[in-house]
Amino acid sequence: MVYKPIKCLMKVVVSGVKRLELLTFLTTCVTVIILSPAMLFAGDNGPCIECHTKPDKLKVTEKAKIDPVTGEIKVSPMLIDEAAFKASAHGGEDFFCIDCHQDLDGKDVTEGHKPNLKPVDCITFCHDDPAEDYLQSTHVKLMRENSKDVPTCKGCHSGLSYHYTPLGEKSPLHRKLTIDACGSCHQDYLNSYKNNAHGQVATLGHTTTDVPVCFDCHGKHKILNSSDPESKVGKERIMETCGSCHANANASFVRHVEHPQIKNIKYYKTVLAAVKNARSDPENLKKVIKNPQTILCIVFVMYVGILAFTFSAFGLHSLLSWFAVVRDEFRRKEHGDEEQH
């Protein structure tokens, strides 16, 4: 999403006309007309950069923030790497600090400013489309149903990924950070992803657009349950999703298990429980047997057995033959010495 002042202005105009909130519309127009010469001159990051690149000019160089959703404590640097910021998604020529940190707009900051600024509003003027998609997602719906705090924009797009991504969403760093962001809540899915063909390459540090990360399959903001017809991983669209990398993806190919549970103890427990309750609940057992994960788990356990047996048996064999050779050598020498005397 590129910041376009003209587009934003148009959006305000269009939304104003649409809602026929004439008063708001007129007020906005007047404000824009009055402020436009001021905006031309106010667009200067100088005063901010002046202090935020020099540790000795700041009262604090780092701030601990508690994430309202996860409760996780994150340390945000107050120092800005100017070159990296210029190269980032928000570092364009026509972009200024106060565009986001609006409570400092028009304030004199030569003597510093109040310590805690208002949270940045990403949605209203610029990123309203992704926000709308996001609010329609199963992600948000389920969390609301279960009365859980819904992550805000910054719940996922925070820290480095927000400020320092020269290529935007195509940047390998950004793609890598999204894996961590999703994985910080969906730990089990992250672990199983690491065990599949895509995830093992990503775990080795390669997250270019050739290697799929979470959002390539599940979607970016409109993450929908697979039962939803619009879902990228649902029956209707899965061929298209897999086909975007694997040309000619067929109906059998798309049944691939992307999240193998071979190293998830919870899955083994459900299998064991299903076997135990086979008499009272045969339907459940059938379901477990028909689950492709079960075969994967059996193959995995089989291989662990083969590995353990082979290495212990042949390891013992090597060790014993080594000892026997050394023992024979020793005896031969001893024997030889006696003969000489």
Partner 1 sequence: MKNNTNYLRFGLFHRFCHFLIIISFFGLVLTGVPLAFKGYGWARWLYELFGGYPTAGYLHRICALITFFAAFVHFIYLFYNVSVQKRKGFFWGPNSLLIQPRDVFDIVGDIKWFLGIGKRPNFDCWIYWEKFEYLSLMWGTLVMAITGLILWFPVQFTKIIPVSVAGIIDLPSIALIVHRYEAILAAGFIFTIHFFHTHLLPEKMPVDEAIFTGRITEEEFKHERLNQYKRLQNQRQLDNYKIAPPSLFVSFLTRLFAVPILITGLIMVGLMFSALLVWAI
CB of 287: closest distance to partner 1 in angstroms?
11
* Residue 321 interacting with partner 1 (CB under 8 A): yes
- For residue 132, give the nearest of 232, 220, 18 by alpha carbon: 220
The only residue of 119, 142, 149, 311 in contact with partner 1, by rule CB under 8 A: 311
Q: Is 200 in the site for partner 1 (CB under 8 A)?
A: yes
By the 8 A CB rule, do 126 and 8 touch? yes
Contact present, 257 and 296 (Cβ < 8 Å): yes
Please report whether residue 326 would count as binding partner 1 according to CB under 8 A.
Answer: yes
- Under the criterion CB under 8 A, does residue 257 sit at the interface with partner 1? yes
Nearest to 169 by CA among 1, 339, 322: 1
Among 90, 139, 176, 194, interactor with partner 1 by CB under 8 A: 194
Structure tokens at 325: 């050779």
Burial of 154 from C-beta contacts in 10 A (0-12 / 13-18 / 19+): middle
Count of residues making up the chain: 341
Among 286, 325, 332, 334, binds partner 1 (CB under 8 A): 325
The interface mask with partner 1, positions 231-250, x = CB under 8 A, is ---------------xxxxx
Please, which residues have CB within 8 angstroms of residue 115's CB and are 6 or more apart in sequence?
Answer: 59
Minimum distance of partner 1 from residue 206's CB (angstroms): 4
CB burial string 114-141: b at 16+ within 10 A, e below: eeeeeeeebbebbbeebbeebeebbbbe
Pick one of 262, 274, 285, 288: the residue that binds partner 1 (CB under 8 A).
262
By CB under 8 A, the count of residues binding partner 1 is: 52
Coil, helix or strand for 225?
coil
x/- mask, partner 1, residues 42-81, rule CB under 8 A, reads ----------------------------------------
| Positions that interact with partner 1 (CB under 8 A) | 194, 196-197, 200-201, 203-206, 208, 210-211, 246-253, 255-257, 260, 262, 290-292, 295-296, 299-300, 303-304, 306-307, 310-311, 314-315, 317-318, 320-329
